[in-house]
Amino acid sequence: MNRDGQDTPPKELSFLDALNKYFKLAELEELCFSIGINYEEIPGTTLSEKTRGLILYCSRHNLINELIDYANDKRPFIDWESLPIPKEHTLNSSNIFRFVNKKNMLIGILLLSVLLFLGLMFRPNMIIYFNEEGLAAYEGRNFTLAQRNFQRALFLDPQNGEILYNLGSLYEDQIKQDGANVSLALDAYTKSSETGFEGAFNNAARLYILFDQPDEAVQLAQAGLAQASNTTVRYYLYKNLGWARYSQNSYPDAIANLNESIQLNPSPASPYCLLALVYDAQELVNQAEVQWRQCVARADNSIPEEDEWRQMGQERLTQGEDE
């Protein structure tokens, strides 16, 4: 402390530092007026910007002595004449630095805008790419890579019904390894069906039937039939609706829907096998036998339920011959 009770400035303090420390922004306007400077001509808005601009202005217009005299008058406890005054290039360098920073920021914003534009422009191609990579990995039984690629595609397009369907099929294919995949598959199929993707209604309905939830299967199959125009999809939906109705013991509805599926595609075994089960449940032996023969002849052993029904049909037919 000096004798006037003021803080003694440190020896390393510069003229610029002292102005920033011992003058307020409002006082600079009075300072400028006193030495004949238009305050508005001094660049900047903050105290540090104004003091830097003031020194630079005074250096260029030979007003440094007037600036020192004013500072001595207002803050006499400081030896202003001994304080080093920054050179003009030093004062300008900070402005240049700020300009460069602003320029870099503008360049960064421009670059980000370009990247976003390119991302939007190429986004559809990226979605197709990730989906195709997922399908290739799925076909190669690399389920982890397939899931990763489907999820990447969905990150770009969360409402893509086809990719949600593919992801559901992937989860369904892994149910034997992990039962948790049932809910994952149903969730993916449900989201896919909500986008209107026709095949998802059928696959979800079939899963509900396999896991003893025929009521949900009926709702999905009916919703799918209300939207689906594809003949193959409609065949599967009628077949699964008939299967669900059989599980509900609603035999007339089951027969009607299974016959609809046969009308659309008479080749697959499943509708005949299911009709045989319906007739057996009603003890209509002759009708059941006709359908069992069709079932056994057409069954595809690679489809688990058809292989099971084929064996059941062979047993039924053998029993009928023995009787």
Q: Measured over all CA atoms, what is the biggest interatomic distance in the chain, rounded to whole angstroms?
A: 129
The last residue of one of the domains, among 58, 86, 114, is: 86
DSSP secondary structure code for residue 45 in this structure: S
Which of residues 108 and 67 earns the better pLDDT score? Answer: 67
Report percent pLDDT > 70 for the chain. Answer: 83
- Give the span between the Cα atoms of 193 and 254, in whole angstroms: 23
Phi, psi angle pair for 5, to nearest 5°:
85, 10
Instruction: Give the position of tokens 């599967």.
Output: 236
Tell me, yes or no, whether 121 lies in a domain: no
Mean pLDDT, range 47-64, rounded to an integer:
87
The radius of gyration computed from the CA coordinates of the chain, to the nearest angstrom, equals: 42
Q: Is the pLDDT of residue 1 over 50?
A: no
26: domain range?
Answer: 15-86
To the question of pTM greater than 0.85 for the whole model, the response is no
Please give the pLDDT value at position 108.
64
Give 247-294 pLDDT, tens digit per residue: 999 999 999 999 999 999 999 999 999 999 999 999 999 999 999 999
Tell me, yes or no, whether 142 lies in a domain: no
What total number of domains does the chain contain?
Answer: 2
- Give the span between the Cα atoms of 233 and 265, in whole angstroms: 11
The last residue of one of the domains, among 86, 106, 127, is: 86
**Average pLDDT over the chain, rounded to whole?**
85
CA triple 125-130-131, angle to 5 deg: 95
Residue 100: pLDDT band with limits 50, 70, 90: very low
Tell me, yes or no, whether 7 lies in a domain: no
Tell me, yes or no, whether 174 lies in a domain: no
Lowest-confidence region among 62-71, 97-106, 165-174, 202-211: 97-106
Which of residues 219 and 60 earns the better pLDDT score? Answer: 219
Tell me, yes or no, whether 45 lies in a domain: yes
- Give the span between the Cα atoms of 200 and 194, in whole angstroms: 9
Please give the pLDDT value at position 171.
92
The last residue of one of the domains, among 68, 86, 104, is: 86
DSSP string, 153-185: HHHH-TT-HHHHHHHHHHHHHTTTT-TTHHHHH
Tell me, yes or no, whether 284 lies in a domain: yes
Tell me, yes or no, whether 305 lies in a domain: yes
Please give the pLDDT value at position 97.
44
Tell me, yes or no, whether 315 lies in a domain: yes
Give 108-147 pLDDT, tens digit per residue: 677 666 655 555 555 678 888 889 999 999 999 999 999 9
